[in-house]
Amino acid sequence: MKLILVRHGETLWNRENRVQGFSDIELSDLGIMQAQRLAQCLKDEKIEAIYASTLKRAHRTAEIIGSYHEVGIEADADLRELNQGDFEGFNFRQLRDQYGSFLKQWITDPGSMVMPNGEPMRLFTMFDKQMTPLFTILNRNKKSITLDLSQPEGKEMFLQLAEKADIVLENYIPGTMKKWGVDYDVLKEKNPRLIYAAISGFGQTGPRSDLPAFDLVAQAAGGIMHASNITEGTPRIPFADYSSGLTAALGIMQALFYRERSGKGQFVDLSMQDLMYSMNIRAQVHEFMDKARNRDLTSRLLPTYNQYHTKDEKRVVLVTITENQFKRLMTVIGREELITDERLANVVKRMDHIELLDEVLEAYTVQHGRDEIVQIMHDNRIPCSPVVQIDELQDDEQLAARGMYNRSFEFDNVDHATIPNPVLKFSETPGEIISKAPGLGEHNEEIYTGMLGIDALALKKLKRKNVI
C-alpha cells in the first residue's frame, strides 16, 4: 500500500489521466489524535511509501503514520506532476472535509460523513471490518450523498436541497457554514420555513465558541468528569455526544411545532458544554447544599441508594426513596428496629448516616445470591436490579419482550451482531430499521436526480469534477 496525504482541494494529477476506478486519496487536515488512530488502523497493512504535499498538516499526519510503520516520507512532493503510471498499485481512499448526509426531509446526523471534523467511523471500517456493525448502529436508516461545498456547483446544489428540506442539522465549528456561504441567514432567505439546528462544543456565542470539541471535551468542560470522580482515563460512554443528539432532536421537534402554529422556521443553537452543565446536578447542589459541599466526590448524597456485593460475587442495586419503601426494605432484611431509630426517622436524617445503612445492607446482600435478592425485592415492591454484565445484555428477557434486538442484518467478518431497535414505541407510527448504514455517496443518483432533476450525464460530469 502507498499513501498520499494532501489537503482537500489540491489537484493530484491531470483529471484526463486519472486511473480508472480509483479516486483521489485526500487525508485532509487530520488532527494528531485522528492521525494516530489511522496509523493504528493501518498497523497490519504493508505501507511501501508515504507521499506528503507541502501542506504542514498533511506533512504532520505523514510523520505520525510513518513513525508507526518505520517508513520514510517523500515530503514536499509535487503531486500534481505524478502521471497515471505512478498510481498503479495505490490503495486509494477519498476523505473530504465537506460531505453531507441527506434525507428528503432531514439532513441526518451531524458530521457522520466528514472524516476530519466529524464521525471517523467509516474510515475505521475500511481497515477493521468488525467495526461495520457499530457503524450501522450509529447510521442505520440514513441516505448518503457526497457533495463538495467548496466548489460553486456543490454550493448551488446544497442551496437547492435546502430549499426543499424541512431541517438542516450540522455540527461544524461556528462560522464554518458562513464561510461556505450556506449558513442559516442565507438558507432562510430561500426557505423561511427551514429549521436549522447547529450542535457545537460551546455554542454560537461566547469567548470559546470558535473552539473545536468532542464528547470528551464537553464532559470535561461541563464538570461531568470531576463530578463523576474520573481521575484517570476517559468516560466509558460518550453520553455528551448521545445526549446532544437527543436534545437537538427535542429542540427540532419544538421548532417544528412552532412552525405548524406560525409558519416560521428558526435557528436552534445547542452547546454541548451548556448541556453537560445543565445535567451536572452535583455541581448545582454543591453551590447551595451544605451536605453536598461537605462530602467528597466519592461520597453520595442519597441513603439506601447504592450497589452492593452479593454471595456469588456479583452485584445488585437497591433504592428506597419513600418512607414505605424504607420500611419494607428494613423488614425484608430483618432489621425492623431501624424503622423506629430516631437517627433514621426520615430521608433527610438518613442522609447523615449513609455509611451506616450501606454496612447494614451489604451485611445482608453478601449472604444471598444476586438473583435471589432481586426476586425477594421485586416480591416486596422494592426498587432493585442486578448489575447486568455486558455479556448478559444481549440475552435479556425484558429487552427481548420489548423487541429491542434486531438480528436481521449480516456483516462480513462478523458471526453475529445485534442492532438495537428503535427505543420509542408509537401506537400509530411504529418505527423500524429498514437498512444498514449506507455506502458513501450511495444515494447520489436517487437524491440528485429525484429531487434536483439532474440527469445521469450531468452527474457523471459532476463526479469527474469531484463536486460529488
Residue 23: its pLDDT value, please? 33
Among 16, 70, 81, 260, the one annotated catalytic = 81
Q: What is the pLDDT of residues 336-372, one digit of tens each?
A: 999 999 999 999 999 999 999 999 999 999 999 999 9
Known catalytic membership, residue 8: yes
pLDDT exceeds cutoff 70 at 171: yes
What is the chain's mean pLDDT, rounded?
A: 80
Q: What is the pLDDT of residues 106-127, one digit of tens each?
A: 333 322 222 223 356 777 787 7
Q: How far apart are CA 321 and CA 317, in angstroms?
A: 13
Q: Per-residue confidence at 207, pLDDT binned at 50, 70, 90?
A: very high
Residue 70: its pLDDT value, please? 67
Q: What is the pLDDT of residues 388-436, one digit of tens each?
A: 999 999 999 999 999 999 999 999 888 889 999 999 898 988 888 888 9
Q: Per-residue confidence at 283, pLDDT binned at 50, 70, 90?
A: confident
Among 8, 26, 170, 443, the one annotated catalytic = 8
In Å, the largest CA–CA distance within the chain is 89
What is the crossing angle of helices 272-279 and 239-262, to 10°?
A: 100
Known catalytic membership, residue 226: no
Dig out the grid coordinates for 349 from the structure: 436524617
Residue 323: its pLDDT value, please? 95
412 Cβ neighbours under 8 A, 6+ residues apart = 129, 132
In this structure, which amino acid lies at residue 183? D
pLDDT exceeds cutoff 80 at 144: yes
